[in-house]
Amino acid sequence: MGILLDIAVGDPSPNSPYAAYYKVHPTVLMGNFIAFLKRHLKNPNPKREKINGVFLGVATVLAFALPTFFGFWAIWHFLGGFNFWLGVIVYALIGVVLVKFAVCIRLETDWAKAAAKAIQENDLTEARKYAHFSRRDSSNLNGPQIASAVIESMAENIIDFKFSPIIFYSLLGVTGAVAFRAVNTLDGMVGFKDKENINLGWFSANLDHVVNFIPSRLTGILIIAACALLGKDYKTAWQITKRDHSKTQSRNHGWPMAAMAGALHVQFEKPDKYILGDPVEALDGGKILEALKIRDVAIVLCLLIFLPVLVLVRLFVFPF
C-alpha cells in the first residue's frame, strides 16, 4: 500500500523547496537534523571528529527509529487493546504513509520520462534539469551524457529507494524502513571522502555500505532476471556485471549500474571516475525508457521474493 501510494502521489520535487509538503517530508527532516548535528560535531582534531562521526550516525538512526518503534508498539498494545479495529486502522494508516516516504518511484519516473522527452527533442537546457541528482556538473553535458547520468542514478536508486527499504521493511517492519532511510540519508549528506566529510562521515559511509551489501548484489541479479523476462540480452548484462561492478568508487552501486549498462548495450562514463559497459548502442532518450521498464520489472520481482519473507517474519518473529 505504501508503494501504491507513492506511485499515486509521488514525492515533492527539490526544485520547489518552499512547498509545505517538501518541508515536512521525513527525509528532509532527517537532512535538517543531520545538518544541525554536523555543525556542532565538526572538530579540528581528526580522531575526535571520527568519534563524533560515530555519534552522528548512531544518534540520527535512533532519533527516528526509536520513536517509530515505540509509537507503533503503543498503538498496537494500548489503542488496539482499547478497540482492536481502531488500533488496526490507525496502525495501518500511519504505517502506509511512513513506508511510502521510505521509497521513491513516482518522482524518479516523472523525471526520467521528462529527461527522455527533452533529449529526444534536443532540448538540452531542459534535459540538464534532470541530471543534477547524479552528483555531477550538468552545465556542459550533451544528450548522451545526460542520458547516462539519468540512467546511472536510476540504477543506484533501485538499491537506495526501492530494494533496501522493501527488504528492511520485510525483516524489521516500518521501523526497519525508517532506520534504513536514516542510514541512507546520512551517507548522502556526509558519506564523502572530501576534506569536509572524510572524518565526520566515515562511520555513516561504512554503515551504508554494510546495510546495502546484500541488497546491492541482489539488485544486480534482479536486473539481469528482468532482462530475461523482457526478452533482452541477459547474458551480456551478466558478463558486464561480473567485469565492471568493482570499477566504481562505491563498493555497492557498481552492481546495478554495470548490470544496467550491459542490459542496454551502452557505456556509462563519469569522467576521471569510471567507465562501465561497452558502447555497442547509442545512449539516448529511448534508453532511459528501456531502463525504466527493466527497473519496474525488477521491483516486481523483489516484491514477489520478499512478500513471503514479510509474512513469515510477522507470524513468527515480530507480530507488530
- pLDDT single digits (tens) 151-200: 999 999 999 999 999 999 999 999 999 999 999 999 999 999 999 999 99
Average pLDDT, whole number, for the chain? 93
* pLDDT score at 179: 98
Are 158 and 298 in contact by the 8 Å Cβ rule? The answer is: yes
User: Does residue 20 register a pLDDT over 70?
Assistant: no
Question: pLDDT, tens digit, for every residue of 30-77?
Answer: 999 999 999 999 999 999 999 999 999 999 999 999 999 999 999 989
Are 261 and 267 in contact by the 8 Å Cβ rule? The answer is: yes
Are 42 and 200 in contact by the 8 Å Cβ rule? The answer is: yes
Confidence of residue 17 (pLDDT cuts 50, 70, 90): low
Rounded mean pLDDT of 295-319?
A: 92
The DSSP call for residue 274 is: E
Distance of alpha carbon 159 from alpha carbon 291, whole angstroms? 15
- The domain containing residue 185 runs over which residues? 2-316
Question: pLDDT, tens digit, for every residue of 254-267?
Answer: 999 999 999 999 99
* Buried b / exposed e along 167-200 (16+ C-beta atoms within 10 A): bbbbebbbbbbbbbbbbbbbbbbbbbeeeebbbb
Q: How many CA atoms lie within 13 A of 63 on its CB side?
A: 18
Are 90 and 75 in contact by the 8 Å Cβ rule? The answer is: yes
User: Does residue 133 register a pLDDT over 70?
Assistant: no
- Angle of CA points 11, 169, 296, to nearest 5°: 55
In terms of residues, how long is the chain?
320
Q: What's the pTM value of the predicted model, to 2 decimals?
A: 0.93
The total domain count for the chain is 1
Neighbours of 7 (CB within 10 A): 13
CA 85 remoteness from chain centre: 34
